[in-house]
Amino acid sequence: MATDITDITHTTHAVEASSVMKLLRARPRLLALGEPTHGEDTLLDVRNELFRRLVEQEGYRTIAIESDCLMGLLVDDYVTGGEGTLHDAMEHGFSHGFGASAANRELVRWAREYNEGRPASDRLRFAGFDGPLEITGAASPRQALTALHSHLTSWLDADELLPCTAATLDHLLGSDERWTEPAAMTDPSRSFGRSPEAAQLRLLADDLVALLDERTPHLIAAAGREAWDRARLYGRTATGLLRYHSWMADTSPARMVRLLGVRDRMMADNLLALAAGGPVLVFAHNSHLQREKSSMRMGDMPLEWWSAGAIVAAHLGAQYAFLPTALGTIRHHGVDAPPPKTVEGLLYALPGDRLLVDARGLAAALGHALPAPRDSPWFGYFGLDPVHLAKADGLIFVKDLAQV
């Protein structure tokens, strides 16, 4: 490969909001910043600093992260001036263990401080856009279904319009343990997702969401748009969870691909809803935000599905922008300096600890002789696929991740 350092220095810039915006073809409603691994606060510090500059210089007011969309409502209530403590927001407002992150804590603290004394229209907002899902399973649909039903009951004539009572929902849902059975992730026979009760709940959830949509003018006038938006979130989450549980009970070879696809579709639906009030900075794993198909191996089984980013990009076009992040080293996980003949290796040889890269410019400089993807010795880090450079709107490179 003939490319040397001098060939690509012109594609790099400081990681600044103004430089990011200059790389984009249009001002996006969703600006997605990806990370190649979870649990590294250095990457979240980069995110936090970029979000602050986007707020101050570009008018951004919302950040959405890969965390439970329902739990995130608690964080949003806190940062917009609600009651409770920062400890409560971190303890109960994040999924995937992200509430333990010092960088996430700093984001929430700063957002609350920024909002003090500001009118509601100028306040920062926080959103989780993942479903109530973990790698080991999915939550009960109880919270989402009952909240949707309660909203409709509060503002509509329940006796004439609603397809069921709260007592009926409670009876069909049963105990939450039947939905959260850990063994169901590896043993479909342990899933409750295709029981007669679950099938009936899917029909009722569909009817409740349809009623919410049909009565949109009345509900917005009566309760306000924000309450209506929240009810729509409950509806999306309820139907998505019931669909996810149904596929957990499936025994066909399509089971895992459909579970991955259902999750990212839930993410995409939440992002499209947030885009209506954009601009929004979105933060999640690269694999959830890229425009290309995502892939992984589970044992000997290769899996491919369309990511949330790919789905959203198909809807929004240039109003969706994606900046993946690539890394040099994570030495505390055995990821040492990248081989020179990889994209990460070329960037690692440049001066500077953090770089913003013109991804399309870098792809053009590399030409047809693209480097091979970097192999990671640690399963938790996904190296950059050079083939994806041409479809990214930019790239952030962080040279070294220090163990905190």
> How confident is the model over 138-184, as pLDDT tens digits?
999 999 999 999 999 999 986 678 999 999 999 999 999 999 999 99
186: helix, strand or coil: coil
pLDDT at 404 (0 to 100)? 66
Length of the chain: 404
Q: What is the mean pLDDT of residues 312-335?
A: 97
Query: DSSP class of residue 15?
Result: S
CA 316-119-320 angle, to 5 degrees, is 10
How many CB atoms within 10 Å of residue 183? 12
Residues 171, 400: Cα–Cα separation, whole Å: 53
Mean pLDDT on 225-252:
98
Q: What is the DSSP letter of 389?
A: G
Nearest-5° Cα angle at 68, 99 to 116: 60
pLDDT higher for 6 or 345?
A: 345
Residue 296 has a pLDDT of 86
8 A C-beta contact, residue 295 and residue 312: no
Q: Say if residue 6's pLDDT is above 60.
A: no
User: Given a cut of 60, is residue 1 above it in pLDDT?
Assistant: no
d(CA 108, CA 343): 34
Report, as an integer, the average pLDDT of 14-35. Answer: 96
- CA nearest to 395, candidates 344, 342, 345, 338: 344
Query: Rounded to two decimals, what is the model's pTM?
Result: 0.95
The arithmetic mean of pLDDT across residues 285-291, rounded, is 97
Q: What element of type H or E holds 151?
A: helix 142-155
| The predicted structure's pLDDT at residue 5 | 59
Judged by DSSP in three states, 370 sits in coil
pLDDT tens readout for residues 366-398: 998 889 899 988 989 989 999 999 999 999 999
